[in-house]
Amino acid sequence: MPVITCVEDLKRIYKRRAPRMFYDYAESGSWTEQTFRENTTDFQDIHLRQRVAIDMAGRSTKSRMIGQDVAMPVALAPVGLTGMQCADGEIKAARAAEKFGVPYTLSTMSICSIEDVAENTSKPFWLQVYTLKDDDFMKRLFDRAKAAKCSAAVITVDLQMLGQRHKDLKNGLSAPPKLTFKSVANMMTKVQWGLGMLGTKRRFFGNIVGHAKGVADASSLTTWTAEAFDVSLDWDRIREFRKMWDGPLIIKGIIDPRDALEALNVGADAIIVSNHGGRQLDGALSSIRALPAIMDAVGDKIEVHLDSGIRSGQDVLKALALGAKGTYIGRAYVYGLGAMGEAGVTKALEIIHKELEVSMALCGHTDVTKVDRDILMIPRDFSDRWQ
Active-site residue set: 276
| First-residue to last-residue Cα distance in the chain | 52
What residues contact residue 214 under an 8 Å CB cut-off, 6+ apart? 220, 223, 224
Cis geometry, peptide bond prior to residue 103 (ω within 30 degrees of 0): no
The residues pairing with 105 across neighbouring beta strands, listed in sequence order, are 126
Distance of CA 112 to the CA centre of its chain: 16
DSSP state at residue 132: B
Query: How far apart, in Å, are the Cα atoms of 178 and each of 54, 84, 225, 244?
Result: 57, 13, 14, 34
Say if residues 272 and 154 touch (Cβ distance below 8 Å).
Answer: yes
Query: How far apart, in Å, are the Cα atoms of 343 and each of 99, 116, 131, 350, 354?
Result: 11, 19, 33, 10, 16
Distance of CA 299 to the CA centre of its chain: 23
For 143-181, b where at least 16 C-beta lie within 10 A, e where not — what string? ebbeebebbbbbbbbbbeeebebebbeebebebbbeeee
Q: At what angle do helices 257-265 and 287-298 cross, to 10 degrees?
A: 50
For CA atoms 164, 14, 332, 157, the dihedral sign is positive
Distance CA 32, CA 263 (A): 29
